[in-house]
Structure 1
Amino acid sequence: MKTVGIVVEYNPLHNGHVHHAREAKRAAGAEALVAVMSGPFLQRGEPAVCSKWARAEMALAMGADVVLELPSAFAVQPAEWFAFGGVSALHATGVVDALVFGSESGDIAWFRRLAALLAEEPPALKARLRERLAAGASYPAAYASAAAALAGGPDGSELAQPNNILGLQYCLALARLGSGIVPLTIPRRGAGFHDTAAQAPSPAAEAIASATAVRRLLLQASGAEGLAAAAPYLPPYAAAILRREWEAGRGPMDWERYAAPLFHLLLSRPPEAMRGIAEIGEGLEHRFRQLLPRLDYSRGGRIEQLVEAARTRRYTRTKLQRALTSLLLDRRKDELTQESLSRGVPYLRVLGFSGRGRELLKDMKRKASVPIVTKAAKAEQDELPLFGLDLRAAAAYASAMPVPDAREIFRDYYQAPLQTESAGVARPR
C-alpha cells in the first residue's frame, strides 16, 4: 500500500494537525500514514503538555496508522538533527513512499533546489556561517543568512521562517541518506508557528490556532476552564483525552513542575561535570548558577524567570531550554556526538497502530533496516544504542506529574503499543 510519512510533536494535537495529516495523504495519494512523534520532551527543549502515550492515542484517533517515537537523542535537538532523526526513522521503516511537511513557502522545487546546493555543506557556507555567528547572530538566523547568501537570495528572511527551516532540513536529510522517499510540501494554513494568541473561531471555518496558542489557553486557567477555552481549536477526541489526563492527575505539564530538581542539579553539579552536558558550554554553567539567587521566589514561573534572565543574542530561549532539558535528563555530549547521530535512528519504537497499521508493521518487519521495538525491557536487555535516553526521559517526565504514580514512571516497561481498529479512541493491548 502507498504510505506517506510525517514528523510531528502534537503538543497537543489540534485542528491544524488534522488538516496537515489529511492533506499529506491527499498530496501523496497514500492509503496509509506513518507519524514519527517526539516523546516526553520536545524540539524546543520543553516538556510536552501531556504524555507521549496520550498524544499517540490522539494521533491514532485522528487516523494515523503507525505512530513511532522519535528517540530523545534526536527529539531535543536543533532543526538539523531533529529533522535528520525523523527522516532517518521514516527511511528505516522501508515502507514509506513520501514525506509531507507544512511550510510557509509551499514550493517543493525551491526546497529541493536549496537542498541540492547545500547538501555537501560547501566551504563558502561554513565560512559565512562562522562570520555570522562571530557577529553575535543565533545559529538559526546565522544559518538562514549564510544559506540565502550562497543561494543568491536576499537576506534569509524566508529561510528564517520556522517551517521553512525544518522543510529544508527534511530535504537535506533525504539527500544525505540517499533516500528514495519523495518530499512534498503543503502551504501552512491558519496561525503562524510562533503565534501566541488564538483568533476567535469563525462559525464558517474550522478553527485553527498554533500549538503555542493552544497550550497558552490550556495553561492560563484551571483544568476545566483551560480545556473549555482551548476546545474550539481541538478535535473532540483530543479534548476528551486531555480531560481524562487532567482528571487522572497526569497533566497539564509545564516547565515549572521541574523547577525543584533542576535547581538542585544547577546548585550541586560541579562546573566541570556540567560542561559534559549537551548544550552547556561557553560559561553557561556559571551563568545559570549566578542567576539563581536573583530570582523572585515569591512568585511563580521560576524556570521562565531563569530563562529570561539568561537570554542573550547567542543564548536563545530555545538553546537555554534544551540545555536545561539536557541537564535534567543527563544527556551527555559523549553520548550525543555527531558521529553517533549521523548514523540515524538505531531502532523504531512503536507507540501505537491501527488495523491497517498492523499490516504495515508486518511489512516493516521484513523491510526495516533497524530493530523494531515493541517491548522496552527487551530493547534495554539488547542494549540498543541511545535507548536508555528514552527511558530516562519518560521516567523524569512522569515523576513531575501533578499526581505522581510509580506506574506512570515505569510505564515504558509494561505498556504495549496502543491499538485501534479504525479512527477512534485507541486502547492498550
Structure 2
Amino acid sequence: MKAVGVIVEYNPLHNGHVYHLSEARRLSGADAVVAVMSGPFLQRGEPAIVSKRARTEMALHAGADLVIELPVAYAVQPAEWFAFGAVSLLHRTGVVDSLCFGSESGDLDSLQRIARVLAVEPAGLREDIARRLRDGASYPAAYAGAAAALAPGGVDADAAAALLGQPNNSLGLHYLIALERLGSAIQPLTTARTGAAYHEATPGPGAIASATAVRRLLMADGPQAAAPYVPAATLAILQREWQERRAPVHWERFAQPLLHIAATRRASELANIAEVTEGLEHRLIRTLAQLPEPSVEALLNALKTRRYTRTKLQRMLTHVLLHHAKAELSAEQLAEGPGYLRVLGFNAQGQGLLKHMKTVSSLPVVLKPSNFIHNQLELDVQAQAAYALAYEQRDTRAMYSDYYEPPVRC
C-alpha cells in the first residue's frame, strides 16, 4: 500500500485543504494519506479554535486515513523545528512513500536546490542571520534573506529571496531540508496553492477562503457564516463543538492564567522559559504594568516590534502558559526527534496501514498514552489539560481526554 504524508493544522479544515488532500493522492498515486497534525497549540503560537479530536474528525471525513499528533514540543516552534519534527514522524513510520505540501510557487526544483545547500548549514549562515537580526529584521525575514544569498547556481539570489519571502514556500523549504538531513527516501511533491492567500483576512468570491478568513467568520458570526468555505462534515463538527460549548477557543480564554503567571514570576524565572530571549523577560514584566487593559491582545500589541513579530511573541506566551523550560526544548533535545507516534484517529483504510506501521516503524506506536511514558508525551497531556480549561463548559474528562478517549474512528 502506497502512502502519502501531509503536514497540517486544520484550524479549521476548509475547502482548500480538501483540494490539497485530493492533489496529494493524485500527484503521489497513493492508496492512503497519513496526516501529521498539530495538537491544541499551533505553529504560530495560537490555540486551535477547536480541539484536536474535532480536527481529527474533520481530517478523516475530508480524505485523510491516519492522523498522527505532532508533539507540542515541535508544534509550537519556528519553521525549522516544526518541519523537522513533522517530517521525522513521517520518516519514522516506515510506511510513507511521499510528502505533499502546498506552496505559493509550485516550484519544487528551485526549493530542492536551495534545500540541498542549506541542509549542511553552510559557514556564515548563522552569522548572516544574526547580522540581519541586528539590523532589525524579524527572524523569518532574516533567515529568508540569508538563505537566498546562498542560493546555488541556477537560482538567482533575488528570485530566491522573493520565493522564500512567501510563507508556504519557506515552510516547504524546511520540509525539504529535514528530508535531506534525515537521509529520507520519502519523495517530496508540491502543489501550488489555489484561491485565497495564506493570510488573506476576508473571503474572496470563490468557495476557497484562507483559514484566517474562516476563523474571522467563525469568531464574528458562528459556524453557519463559514458554511460556503468548509465541507459539510466540517460544518457539522463546528456546529456540535459550538453547541457543546467547547468552542471557539482563542487567546482571551487564557488571559487569566497567562497574566497570573507572567505577573507572579521573577524575571530570572521567565528567562528560563523557551523563546524568552534577548531580555524579553524584562520587556514582558515592564509591559504588563503599562497595559491599558488586562488582555492577551493588549499584551501582544504592546510587546510587538518590527523584530519581535506577533508569531514569535505568541509562541513565547504559549511556552510561558505551559511552563516549557528552555532546557527541555533546546536544539540538542529537539535534534533527537520525536520519541513516539501518537495516533489520533484512523478509518478502515488507515487501520490496515496502522497494522503494517506497527511492524515496520522505528518509533513506538502509541494508541493509549496511559500505557506509555515519555517526556514529550507528558508535555502533550499537559497542553491538552490547559487547553480544555479554556472551554466554556469545563470538565475533568475533557482535560484528560488523552487518557480517557481512544483514537477517533470514522
TM-score of the superposed pair, with normalisation by structure 1: 0.93
The 3-state SS of whatever aligns with 2:169 is: helix
- Per mean C-alpha deviation after superposition, the further-off stretch among 52-61 and 226-235 is 226-235
Query: Per-residue CA shift, 1:117-142, capped at 9, x if unaligned?
Result: 11111013223212211211111000
| Cα distance in structure 2, aligned partners of 1:104 and 1:6 | 16
Match of 2:223 among 224, 227, 230: 227
| Cα distance in structure 1, aligned partners of 2:112 and 2:102 | 15
The 3-state SS of whatever aligns with 2:190 is: strand
Match of 2:396 among 406, 410, 427: 406
| Cα distance in structure 1, aligned partners of 2:289 and 2:135 | 31
The 3-state SS of whatever aligns with 1:158 is: helix
Matched pairs, number: 405
Q: Which residue of 2 aligns with 1:358?
A: 351
Q: Which residue of 2 aligns with 1:42?
A: 42
Match of 1:157 among 158, 162, 166: 162
| Cα distance in structure 1, aligned partners of 2:205 and 2:19 | 18
The 3-state SS of whatever aligns with 1:13 is: coil
Report the residue type matching 1:154 in the other structure.
Answer: D
Query: Per-residue CA shift, 1:211-254, capped at 9, x if unaligned?
Result: 01100110023xxxx21211110001001001001111100010
Percent identity between matched residues is: 57
Asked whether 1:239 is paired with 2:222, we answer no
Q: CA deviation at 1:200?
A: 3.4
| Cα distance in structure 1, aligned partners of 2:302 and 2:352 | 51
The 3-state SS of whatever aligns with 2:338 is: coil
| Cα distance in structure 2, aligned partners of 1:337 and 1:31 | 37
* Equivalences for residues 139-158 of structure 1 within 5 A: 139-151=139-151, 152-154=156-158, 156-158=161-163
Q: Which residue of 2 aligns with 1:417?
A: 407
Match of 2:366 among 346, 360, 373: 373
| Cα distance in structure 2, aligned partners of 1:295 and 1:235 | 41
Q: Which residue of 2 aligns with 1:10?
A: 10
| Cα distance in structure 1, aligned partners of 2:205 and 2:105 | 25
Asked whether 1:265 is paired with 2:261, we answer yes
Q: CA deviation at 1:339?
A: 1.3
TM-score of the superposed pair, with normalisation by structure 2: 0.97
Query: Per-residue CA shift, 1:126-160, capped at 9, x if unaligned?
Result: 23212211211111000101111111411712201
Q: Which residue of 1 aligns with 2:194?
A: 189
What's the C-alpha RMSD, in Å, of the aligned pairs? Answer: 1.1
| Cα distance in structure 2, aligned partners of 1:414 and 1:126 | 45
| Structure 2, unaligned runs of 5 or more | none
Q: CA deviation at 1:346?
A: 0.7
Q: CA deviation at 1:294?
A: 2.6
Report the residue type matching 1:126 in the other structure.
Answer: R
Q: Which residue of 1 aligns with 2:183?
A: 178
Asked whether 1:388 is paired with 2:378, we answer yes
CA 1:385/1:292 → structure 2, altered by over 3 Å: closer, same or farther?
Answer: closer
CA contact (8 A) 1:124 1:150 kept: no
Report the residue type matching 1:6 in the other structure.
Answer: V
* Equivalences for residues 37-186 of structure 1 within 5 A: 37-151=37-151, 152-154=156-158, 156-186=161-191
Q: CA deviation at 1:292?
A: 2.1
CA contact (8 A) 2:267 2:285 kept: no
| Cα distance in structure 2, aligned partners of 1:66 and 1:185 | 20
Q: Which residue of 1 aligns with 2:315?
A: 322
